[in-house]
Amino acid sequence: MDASPLIFLLFVAISTSECSETAEPLCEDIELIRSHRLEGEAYHVMFVFQNDLPHNETTWYKTDSKIEYISSDKKNRVHYHGGELFFLNLQPEDSGLYTARHINSSSGKCRLYKVKLNVHNAHDQRKYLYGEVEKSDNNIEIECPDPVKYTCEKFGGDFTWYKDFNLLQGNNNLPTLWVKDADKNKEGIYTCMCTWPYNHKMYNSSGSRKLKVLEKSIAKCEILSPVNKEQFANEGFGIKLNCSVYCGINFDLDCKARWQPANKRDGYNTTTKLIMEDRTKNIISTAVLTIDKVSAKDFLNNFECIADCYYERNTANLTLKRRESVTPLIVAPVCVLFVCAFAAVLVKCFAIDLALFFRRFFPLSSHRGDARLYDAYVVYQMQSTDKVTEETLSQFVTQILPSVLEKKCGYRLFIHGRDDIPGEDRLELVEDSIEQSRRLMVVLTPGSGSKPEITDQCPASTQNSVIGGFDWQVGIHHALVQREMSVILIQLGDTGPQGYTDLPVGLQHLIRKSAPLKWPNGSRGAAAWNSRFWKRVRYLMPATPARKCSPSAII
């Protein structure tokens, strides 16, 4: 009767009674092999104790969710023979952890050897390789992976080689494959296939490696830096000088960069490093000379960059040049920038003052040839206003506006009630007066537009809308449609909760284009002709008053 099952049951009993005084010591984990194999192939694994211990001291079992005993019968597809474990036709369900338990009969020590097996589909062969072979030689040697090579040699199998899973022609029945005249076209996956006999049957085992052909070794001895013969430096400051040498591709034999100053002194430190660029495999040697503090003597010194290669030497000389002070280069642009910013602020804050100042020296020719009689036609609304607003509007239109623009600034205004000719047709008077005016000055009050007469439609009664009705429509028509005159908007008091929504659409359009000038009623100096409000009004008025252009009396 085979004693292996009894030994296995004994091992389970011992494992479950570790606290017992009679329990044997725990087994020691010695080795773990991780193996990725392909479905349908054969797999053979053996540990070092095979030739040292009797077969009956070895027990194999599979440990995943439960412990499964492995048979030692060679007729089974999966079986063991001493320290050897055989899978004669791998199946996906064979994946798992396999353990060989060893007991040394002389010492009584217990050891565990484990194999973590993963069985994959044949289509996954590219994912599980035995590493890469990266070389730049003309003839590259590719070894058959050890598990396949060992099995093939042990059982006297035959080797066959494949490239990218296509059979290679020629005599390739050796465990080593030589790829001659290797170049980029020879790159790929090389598979070593072993066909080996066991129990009068033939089985296949394979292992693949990826070949990557590197650039051929090329020896060079070129100085990359310094490029110029002079380098600027600041006296009293530290500086680093680079001496870089291109040694070639995949070649670093006796290639070194170094600095050799003509006159050495304390404060010179040199470091050298050799770097291979990952992608291009270029070899560059760099020597860095660090000068802690540049002195006047360093500007008279000569620094020689030397490239020492095994077959030649190249040199490049470098001298330091004192860098001119950068203070003037910084101060001048800062001053220009400051002046420009200051000028921009002045223009922004005093643009209207400057425009009014230069009007007297540079009058526009178009204004000189304008023969219209009035500088502005003043329109306003007296209806639908409270008593306070009416008094404020009357004072502004009849007293303040003429006293500043006419008496102090010389402009000529047309104001209803003051410049009407008795008995003349009202509509004709409005038409003629607006045509003879350069500007349309609209005075807005909180009641502007609250009555039906201030609409875009013609008023029903001329008598009810001579002020704030027909003249508004004619003026807006000239400003928006005929574009013959500009509009000056002046706001007296607050606009009210409805804002300008009650005004005619055309007038609302003008307000959106240019916000009204708000009359600062009650403010100190508001009536002065040189106040900010009147400067803005004068800026919008014609540059040359009509009174100067047409000095004759208006009949």
Q: Answer whether residue 340 is part of any domain.
A: no
Judgement on whether residues 434 and 286 belong to the same structural domain of the protein = no
Query: Which structural domain, as residue segments, surrounds residue 139?
Result: 129-213
Judgement on whether residues 433 and 507 belong to the same structural domain of the protein = yes
Domain boundary among 322, 342, 360: 322
Q: Answer whether residue 343 is part of any domain.
A: no
Domain boundary among 185, 213, 241: 213
Judgement on whether residues 187 and 243 belong to the same structural domain of the protein = no
Query: Per-residue pLDDT averaged across 206-232, rounded?
Result: 88
| Three-state DSSP string of 216-265 | CCEEEEEEEECCCCEEEECCCCCEEEEEEEEEEECCCCCCEEEEEECCCC
Q: Which of 78-92, 105-119, 460-474 has the lowest mean pLDDT?
A: 460-474
Query: Per-residue pLDDT averaged across 428-453, rounded?
Result: 76
**Is 50 exceeded by the pLDDT of residue 10?**
no
**Is 60 exceeded by the pLDDT of residue 324?**
yes
β 188-198/201-213 pair status: antiparallel
Judgement on whether residues 209 and 317 belong to the same structural domain of the protein = no
Q: Answer whether residue 367 is part of any domain.
A: no
Q: Answer whether residue 200 is part of any domain.
A: yes
Q: Tell me which range, 112-126, 439-453, 479-493, is most confidently predicted by mean pLDDT.
A: 112-126
Backbone angles phi, psi at 122, to 5 degrees: -60, -25
CA distance 81 to 53: 12
Q: Answer whether residue 467 is part of any domain.
A: yes
Span 27-48, pLDDT tens digits: 888 778 888 899 999 999 887 5
Q: How many CB atoms lie within 10 A of CB 231?
A: 16
Q: Answer whether residue 379 is part of any domain.
A: yes
The CATH number linked to 440 is 3.40.50.10140
Judgement on whether residues 380 and 508 belong to the same structural domain of the protein = yes
Span 184-216, pLDDT tens digits: 898 999 999 999 999 999 999 999 999 998 777
Span 293-303, pLDDT tens digits: 999 999 999 99
Judgement on whether residues 149 and 240 belong to the same structural domain of the protein = no
Judgement on whether residues 116 and 145 belong to the same structural domain of the protein = no
Judgement on whether residues 413 and 531 belong to the same structural domain of the protein = yes
Residues 6+ positions from 160 with CB-CB distance below 8 Å: 167, 172, 173, 192, 193, 194, 195
Cβ atoms of 73 and 80 within 8 Å: the answer is no
Which pLDDT score, from 0 to 100, does residue 468 have? 47
| Three-state DSSP string of 126-172 | HHCCCCEEEECCCCEEEECCHHHHHHHHHCCCEEEEEECCEECCCCC
- Residue 516 CA from chain centroid, whole number: 47
Instruction: Give the residue with greater pLDDT, 504 vs 455.
Output: 504
Would you place residue 88 in the very low, low, confident or very high pLDDT band (cuts 50, 70, 90)? very high
Judgement on whether residues 519 and 391 belong to the same structural domain of the protein = yes
**Is 70 exceeded by the pLDDT of residue 459?**
no
Domain boundary among 79, 94, 123: 123
Q: Answer whether residue 554 is part of any domain.
A: no
Span 114-144, pLDDT tens digits: 899 999 988 888 888 888 898 878 889 999 9
Which pLDDT score, from 0 to 100, does residue 195 have? 95
Which pLDDT score, from 0 to 100, does residue 81 have? 86
CA distance 245 to 221: 7
Judgement on whether residues 390 and 253 belong to the same structural domain of the protein = no
Backbone angles phi, psi at 46, to 5 degrees: -145, 140
Q: How many CB atoms lie within 10 A of CB 102?
A: 20
Judgement on whether residues 115 and 191 belong to the same structural domain of the protein = no
Report whether the peptide linkage leading into residue 226 is cis, meaning its omega lies within 30 degrees of zero.
yes
What is the helix (H) or strand (E) element at residue 334, kind and residue range? helix 327-359
Dihedral through CA 291, CA 295, CA 301, CA 303, nearest 10? 10
Q: Residue 189 to residues 129, 139, 195, 329, 427: CA-CA distances in angstroms?
A: 9, 16, 19, 63, 102
Look over the chain and give the mean of its residue pLDDT values, rounded to a whole number: 80
Judgement on whether residues 222 and 178 belong to the same structural domain of the protein = no
Angle between helices 470-480 and 505-513 (to 10 degrees): 50
Which pLDDT score, from 0 to 100, does residue 223 have? 92
* Long-range contacts of 6-15, Cβ-Cβ distance < 8 Å, separation of 24 or more: 7/59, 7/103, 8/59, 8/61, 8/69, 11/59, 11/101, 12/67
β 230-233/313-322 pair status: parallel
CA distance 421 to 406: 20
The CATH number linked to 199 is 2.60.40.10
Cβ atoms of 319 and 230 within 8 Å: the answer is yes
Cβ atoms of 38 and 206 within 8 Å: the answer is yes
Q: How many domains does the chain have?
A: 4
Which pLDDT score, from 0 to 100, does residue 214 have? 79
Q: Answer whether residue 349 is part of any domain.
A: no
Which pLDDT score, from 0 to 100, does residue 8 have? 44
Would you place residue 358 in the very low, low, confident or very high pLDDT band (cuts 50, 70, 90)? confident
